[in-house]
């Protein structure tokens, strides 16, 4: 059995985050000992690892909650889990597309100014002041 501090050390999840996951219902609240501490076991350690990995992959709390429900019922179809993963993948791809456009625009801006002039003539500052000069906004 582990204290919340030990659970935190073993998983790399901070104590306030563990408490947050308990409040959100991702980890079932445990009974307190006579010393008013919660004691966590291997199931909670594994559950927290599952949650942590899901968060690292960018899944929302709601998505992780749904995935936990599916994980807890291994006889159910995995279609919902696949749908959740595909939705997350679409979100990641959309973010990558936005970041690629941002990279292109910042590259263009950085090349537009050689850095030798004065701030009043700086193309970077001009583009930031006038959105019509930014290619990403068109």
- Domains belonging to the chain, first-starting first, are 4-76 (1.10.1660.10), 93-137 (no CATH)
pLDDT, position 110 = 81
Q: How confident is the model at residue 126 (pLDDT cuts 50, 70, 90)?
A: confident
For residues 27-52, give the mean pLDDT: 88
Across all residues in the chain, what is the average pLDDT? 87
Q: Which residue has the higher pLDDT, 121 or 106?
A: 106
The Cβ of residue 54 has, within 10 Å, a number of other Cβ atoms equal to 20
Residue 89 sits at the vertex; the CA angle it makes with 83 and 93, to the nearest 5 degrees, is: 145
Query: Where is average pLDDT lowest: 29-38, 64-73, 119-128?
Result: 119-128
Q: How far apart are CA 68 and CA 76, in angstroms?
A: 12
- pLDDT, residue 134, reads 59
- What is the value of pTM for the model shown? 0.77
């Amino acid at each position: 059995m582990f204290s919340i501090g030990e659970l935190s050390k073993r998983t790399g999840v901070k104590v306030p985050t563990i408490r947050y996951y308990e409040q959100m219902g991702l980890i079932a609240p445990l009974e307190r000992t006579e010393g008013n501490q919660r004691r966590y076991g291997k199931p909670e350690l594994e559950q927290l690892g599952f949650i942590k990995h899901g968060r690292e992959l960018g899944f929302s709390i709601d998505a992780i909650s749904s995935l936990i429900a599916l994980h807890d019922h291994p006889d159910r179809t995995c279609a919902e889990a696949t749908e959740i993963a595909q939705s997350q993948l679409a979100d990641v791809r959309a973010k990558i597309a936005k970041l690629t456009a941002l990279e292109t625009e910042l590259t263009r801006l950085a090349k537009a100014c050689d850095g030798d002039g004065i701030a009043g003539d700086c193309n970077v500052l001009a583009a930031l002041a006038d959105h019509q000069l930014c290619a990403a906004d068109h």
